[in-house]
Amino acid sequence: VLAVAAALTMFAVPASAQEDEGPITQGEDAKYVRVVHIKYKPGKRERAMEIISEHFMKATEAAGTSGPLGVIHLQSGEWDSLAVWSLEGGLADLEWYRTEDNIKWWAALVEQEGGEEAASALWGEYQDAIDEAETDIGHYHASEDDDE
């Protein structure tokens, strides 16, 4: 036990050294993301995926907004899928209830679906398919040639 404790202290940074380095950050190369885990109600997953691919993704394209960096359909665990969204403005993006892209996307969906009522009904149908969702925030470190 003593050997393990001694080994761990080799990597510890003294508090005085932390204070000398200024504010703690993730680094200038940190790219922040929102990870949304989704579990659909039994029998609703297929329709939810159809709404995403046939309606939501088309509205994303029409609005000229960014879709998720990636979507993973899970075969194990409690979640059915997860989507990873870029926080282009970093953690400051979390301060907004609706972003400019959200507003553009909604306008494109309204136009595509033939009006506010139809778009709201489609959104409601999708939301009704969700049993549970959880959002996590994280980051990764981009390489110098990473334009994303």
Instruction: Convert the pLDDT of each residue in 110-146 to its tens digit.
Output: 999 999 999 999 999 999 999 999 999 999 998 766 6
CB 37 within 8 A of CB 136: yes
Q: Compute φ and ψ for 83, nearest 5 degrees.
A: -125, 140
What is the Cβ-side half-sphere exposure of residue 4, based on CA atoms within 13 angstroms? Answer: 1
Pairing of strands 81-86, 130-141: unpaired
With cut-offs at 50, 70 and 90, classify the pLDDT of residue 99: confident
Strand locations in the chain (E): 30-40, 70-73, 81-86, 130-141
The DSSP output letter for 122 is H
pTM above 0.85, yes or no: no
